[in-house]
Amino acid sequence: MTSESTRPSERDGDDAPARATHDPAAFEALVTHHSVALHGYLPRRAPTVADDLLSEV
């Protein structure tokens, strides 16, 4: 598998979350990459506000 076919988090390594703290574009890419997991996790942890939390991200 080439680096072009790997996901951004695999290609960038562990620094993706660190970059996301300073770079809005990196944060957006990180959230987009994990959006399915976030949509599953947040309603279980905060069911009454999950939609609000997801819309803020």
Query: For position 41, what pLDDT does the model report?
Result: 92
Residue 9 inside a domain? The answer is: no
Residue 2 inside a domain? The answer is: no
Query: For position 32, what pLDDT does the model report?
Result: 87
Alpha-carbon gap, residue 48 to 42, rounded angstroms: 10
Query: For position 3, what pLDDT does the model report?
Result: 42
Residue 46 inside a domain? The answer is: yes
In the chain, the number of structural domains is 1
Residue 40 inside a domain? The answer is: yes
Specify the DSSP element, H or E, that contains 57: none
Residue 43 inside a domain? The answer is: yes
Alpha-carbon gap, residue 57 to 50, rounded angstroms: 11
Query: For position 31, what pLDDT does the model report?
Result: 86
The pLDDT profile of the chain, 57 residues, written as one tens digit per residue, is 444 444 554 454 568 888 888 899 998 888 888 888 988 998 999 989 888 887 876
Residue 3 inside a domain? The answer is: no
Residue 44 inside a domain? The answer is: yes
Residue 8 inside a domain? The answer is: no
State which residues form the domain around 26: 14-56
